Structure 1
Amino acid sequence: MKAPSRPKKVSTKGIQLTPLTLNKRASGKNQFITTSKTLKSIVGEIAGKVPTLIKPYLKLTAAKTIVPDKGLIRAINCSHIFPENPNIEFLTGSNGKSGTLQLEMVNLNYGDGFAISFGVSTGFPGQWKISSNEAPNTFINISPINQSVDILIPEIKNKIGTLLINLEPEFTYTASSWSFNEVTVRKLSF
């Protein structure tokens, strides 16, 4: 499968989930997460309006998997969890699946907007499949080795309260592995 060349806005039930294709790997001090400055320009390009404020909302790792009243992560079919490093390792199982990282955000309100960045690592080609309880699947090409998989939710248009987002790879080859390093959620104001 090949990811779409331009991000497609996908929405159902009041959620618009847009993958942000930045065409470069994350780098710098934090090699896994896209900077707020970069997010501001790409969000402005896609949403048609530049955010006036991007502020930290939630950051989760293997060392901190839950923030009460904001959200949590689950590692489904992972092979190792290293809270001291912190990262979560996934290996391809006998069923050909390579595990899923699940982000659950709670206490969401009408009008909230978010930029979500998953910091991941893999040396294998394929695509990241992003799915949600509120929107259809979307895909972003894997960019080895360290990558920030970025998603935009410009505005929540209903009272969902909870949002579940799944990140899982669809590798080109059966024997593959990947690591989750962190997820950073930033709240957007327009």
Structure 2
Amino acid sequence: MGGCLINAISCAAYYALEAEGITSVGVLDIDAHHGNGIANTIEGEERIRYVSLHELNAGMSMGGGPRPEYDPRSPEESDIGPRGNIRNIVLKKGEGWGTYERKLVEGLVFLEDSDLLIVAAGFDAVKEDNTSGLSLQPKDYKSIGRIISRKMKDKPVVLGLEGGYTHEKGSSEEMGGVLGACVAEFVKGLKD
């Protein structure tokens, strides 16, 4: 649907399966939008598990209308893919950290047996980003990083930038405004 020309996250997941000692890959998509492209490209590979935490709303397509009929992967929680390796975890407009934290942990349970975790790191669930209606704060991304780090223990975690579209200045102008603050907090959380 035009969100990316080459799906770097899926390419990385398939590439990782070629590495010695990697028999399974987990992909955690924390972008506020459903990762239908990732879901579509990994749906047939049982060694890759995918979790998308995303806002479900009426405008799920890039054009703002309903999901096109030709899109094989639905953003609904009922769509687990033909091999059962997909989990869509739906968030509602206005939801913030309390709900997000619970659902993040739920998603990581599905991925915790993976040898490697790839995070499709989107920062558009922050309240200031007008491409979603979610209400995370920059500090919540530190908690997301910390939870990922603790849940995956000593397993490798790889990051790929997905989204984050606000360039508004916030309390952290020296780090690139709100978007920069989210990224910085996320990395701090991963290191904790």
TM-score, normalised relative to structure 2:
0.29
Larger relative contact order (Cα-Cα within 8 Å, sequence gap ≥ 6): 1
Identify the structure with the greater helix proportion. Answer: 2
Identify the structure with the greater strand proportion. Answer: 1
